[in-house]
Amino acid sequence: MKKKLVLFLLLLFPIQVFAYSNTLIVTGEPIGIEIHSNGVYIVDFYSNLNSSLKKGDKIISINQQKVESIEDLDQIVTDSGTYSIQIDRNQKIINEKLVVEKENNEIRTGLYIKDEVDGVGTLSYIDPETKIFASLGHEILETSSNSLFDLNRGSLYEVYDESIQKNRNGRIGEIRVNFTNHVLGSIESNQVNGIYGLYQETLPSDHLVEVAKKDEIKLGEAYLYLNMENQEKKYQINILDIDKNETVKNIYFEVTDDSLLSKTGGIIQGMSGSPILQNDKIIGVVNYVVVNHPKTGYGVFIEDMLEEGDKLLQS
């Protein structure tokens, strides 16, 4: 009777098994990020022609024809008139009208629109078994509405001509790069704790680092592992607090390494995704800077990122 009861309980509460590896490829190198939306976002207006629409609205169809890109919109809206459109506003589908004028043979909608976002981050890890990669440690937002950018497709790019703009006078600095045409992988998912995808290049044969469990992480000395201006180096930080109840701001730390402070002034844009190491294990990645005190920042647990990345295999 007991055996039957145990079996029944296991069927009710299945054990979840994750496929990610115990060791990861960790390079700390900067990468270019380009993602395309599932629809066309309205980001601003240059006239009041369509005043019922709002910043952050996402156009998903026009005259019952699906719109995934600006190119789709241009192929549908070819003349003046009133078009029926469907928009996604805060995850609610709304039917609206789009008024279009034609002036000097130029189509005018009164809208500024976009269908892609690009930027710079740091490669957090590559799983050597599955080739799943992650970066940023936070989501990519559609800034006019501050909502999660609805990803259709994206690419990870190799970069060159890297330079550092240091934090100065209350302004957060940045890593500046140019993108090559060399695609390193496909971006498949944009989530609250990072972007995830499949790496398509030959994997490095070194840079293997063990994964630390949350319970192994301690206050005190740790390191950021960065490849900045073609120089790989560990930079010392001090972990000040660990919060297992937060969604993404799990590791609060301060940069204490004089060489990094001299180079960047602390955490700068483009460092999102930088691996955090402690006792030669990866414990998390950098995801936020404290703007009014940029020597300090936050990181997300590596275990949570790995679990999110593992969903790509399950899907």
Q: Is residue 189 part of a domain?
A: yes
> 137 and 28 share a domain?
yes
Mean pLDDT of the chain: 92
Which region, left, alpha or beta, applies to residue 295 given φ > 0 means left and ψ of -120 to 50 means alpha? alpha
Give the HSE-up count for residue 69: Cα atoms under 13 Å, Cβ half-sphere.
Answer: 9
What is the CATH classification number for the domain harbouring 75? 2.30.42.10
Is the entire prediction scored with pTM above 0.85?
Answer: yes
pLDDT at 10 over 60: no
Q: Is residue 15 part of a domain?
A: no
Beta partners for 134?
A: 125, 196
> 154 and 277 share a domain?
no
In the residue annotation, 207 being an active-site residue is answered as no
Task: Spell out a b/e string for 137-176, using b for 16 or more CB atoms within 10 Å of the CB, else e.
Answer: bbbbebebbebebbbeebbbbbbeebeebbbeeeebbbbe
User: What's the CA dihedral at 30, 283, 137, 91 to 10 degrees?
Assistant: 160
Task: Provide φ and ψ at 261, rounded to 5°.
Answer: -65, -35
> 133 and 251 share a domain?
no
Per-residue pLDDT of 260-273, as tens digits, reads 999 999 999 999 99
Catalytic residue among 61, 124, 135, 272: 272
Instruction: Give whole-number Cα distances, 132 to 99, 136, 314, in Å.
Output: 44, 14, 12
Range 158-183 average pLDDT: 94
Residue after which a domain boundary falls, among 57, 77, 109: 109
> 55 and 169 share a domain?
no
Catalytic residue among 37, 135, 138, 274: 138
Q: Which of 7-11, 209-213, 311-315 has the highest mean pLDDT?
A: 209-213
The alpha carbon of 73 is separated from its chain's Cα centroid by a whole number of angstroms, namely 26
Range 58-78 average pLDDT: 96
pLDDT at 163 over 80: yes
Range of the domain at 186: 23-36+117-204
Total domains in the fold of the chain: 3
The alpha carbon of 226 is separated from its chain's Cα centroid by a whole number of angstroms, namely 18
Q: Is residue 5 part of a domain?
A: no
User: What's the CA dihedral at 6, 11, 15, 17 to 10 degrees?
Assistant: 140
What is the CATH classification number for the domain harbouring 231? 2.40.10.10
Q: Which of 110, 126, 123, 134 is nearest to 42 (CA)?
A: 110
Range 285-297 average pLDDT: 97
> 31 and 160 share a domain?
yes
What is the CATH classification number for the domain harbouring 192? 2.40.10
What percent of the chain stands above pLDDT 90? 86
> 188 and 217 share a domain?
no
pLDDT at 3 over 50: no
Q: What tokens appear for 41 in the block?
A: 């976002």
Q: Is residue 8 part of a domain?
A: no
pLDDT score recorded for residue 61: 97
Q: Which of 276, 133, 132, 137 is nearest to 216 (CA)?
A: 276
In the residue annotation, 272 being an active-site residue is answered as yes
Q: Is residue 287 part of a domain?
A: yes
Rounded to whole angstroms, the Cα distance separating 85 from 40 reads 12
Range 277-285 average pLDDT: 98
In the residue annotation, 293 being an active-site residue is answered as no
Least confident of 141-155, 175-189, 271-285: 141-155
> 32 and 130 share a domain?
yes
Rounded to whole angstroms, the Cα distance separating 132 from 202 reads 13
Q: Is residue 180 part of a domain?
A: yes
Least confident of 17-21, 80-84, 92-96: 17-21
Q: Is residue 41 part of a domain?
A: no
